[in-house]
A and B are shown apart, each in its own frame.
Chain A
Amino acid sequence: MTLHYSQKAVSLETDNGIFLIQSFCTPEQIDALQFESPPFEEGQYRPVVTKKARLIQTAAQKDVNVTLAFRKTGEIVGLGILENPAPEDRWSRVGEGMMEVSIIEVRRPWRRIGLARHILHLTLDHPMIESRICYMVGYSWTWDLDEHGGTVMDYRDTLIDLFSREGFKTFQTNESNVMLRPENLFMARVGNAVPKESIERFKLARFNLL
């Protein structure tokens, strides 16, 4: 396996133990770690990624950044994925410069110790970041509100704060799933080397005019 981009790793010491957060994880590295599906008693919350095979498959794609947080034991406790939009996705019409933060997640026992911030930072630590438009969509039906304890708008604010640290801004879009509920969220970060033409196409895509 040839690495396209150099990996970076951060070691995070917390009261709950030491965690290693590593970007551009390879399929081989992921295969050597443990990734358990969460138990079904976690209320209505269902993580988007439940199988290690999905992580391995994603990590094998060109340009993609799978960033993982794991314990010394090899247990994966959090993940972030930066990948290209699916071909049928409206964002792919903008062109090659679009990338989606499709997953940012920390497993329940390991929340509120700052892992998400570090995972997101390394997920976006992509050598081409300034020539890309990175976006995220937040659908409230994927949020773990049972554990969060707040309202959907509190959760939305948490996401806005998290992504704003990395230069993301909220944008309006008529993407049908985002429009389904007022708390749903669309944010993006436009790199400072993105051509004006792409920015204009991104704008048109947000309103399905492309």
Chain B
Amino acid sequence: MLERQYPKEVMLKDGREVILKTPDSSDREALIDFYGNLSAEDRWFLKEDPTQAEVIDRWVKNHDEKRTFSVIALYGTRIVAHGALLLRPKGGRRHVGRLRIMVARDFRNNRLGIWMIVDLMRRAMELGLEKLRADFVVGIEDSAIEAVQSLDFFKEGLLREYVLGPDGQYHDYQIMIKHLHREWGDF
């Protein structure tokens, strides 16, 4: 049912037009290309290596099996962004969704990331989630931190010198949370 809302047309600040859609197995190669074309620095902080086909296969499968909800942004036939809402169907964190967004370098600072987040926020609300969590590497993803604050994410916790950068420097790890409001009383 969530899928029926796609594809969606979005025009970026610079006038380029992208289409948001959910990924399927036919997007496998384009997703591998997307991650393969990111710089090693961009991929460094990911928990998995999506240049490996089996990782992408697993991500698409997770979407099909509703363990995640993913959205890709297409510019022509090229994938220029990938966002995912990671879900926990059971247990004490089932009311929390985690956001993961990656945008191609030449499409950054154009609000594409914001469009992806807003879209996934809507899906999270439709799924009945109560909170969204997004984690960022301080000093590397500061503009993303600023962007999500404009969407009412707030700084919930900071893990000091938690992440090791490719240059051997430690970085703080910022945990951001957004409450998803379901009713009037929450306003």
Bound: A9/B186 CA distance, A: 41
Q: Which residues of A contact B12 (CB under 8 A)?
A: 207
Closest to A174 in B: B111
Chain B neighbourhood of A44, CB < 8 A: 184
> Does any Cβ of A come within 8 Å of B94's Cβ?
no
Within 8 Å of chain A (Cβ to Cβ): is B92? no
Q: How far is the CB of B151 from chain A (nearest CB, A)?
A: 8
B55 part of interface (Cβ distance < 8 Å):
no
Q: Mark B1-24, 1 if CB is under 8 A from A, else 0.
A: 000010011111101010010000
Number of interface residues of A (CB under 8 A): 21
CA distance A182 to B121 in the complex (A): 7
- B183 near A152 with CB under 8 A, answer yes
Q: How far is the CA of A207 from the CA of B16 in the complex (A)?
A: 11
Docked Cα-Cα span, A67 to B125, in Å, equals 33
Cα–Cα, bound, A174→B114 (Å): 10
Cα A171 to Cα B17 with chains together (Å): 13
Could you say which of A141, A172, A204 has the most chain B C-beta atoms within 10 Å of its C-beta? A172
Find out whether the CB atom of A145 lies under 8 angstroms from the CB atom of B184.
yes
B146-184 CB contact bits vs A (8 Å, 1 = yes)?
000000000000000000000000000000000011111
Interface, chain A (partner B; CB < 8 A): 43-44, 141, 145-146, 151-153, 170-172, 174, 179, 181-183, 203-204, 206-207, 209
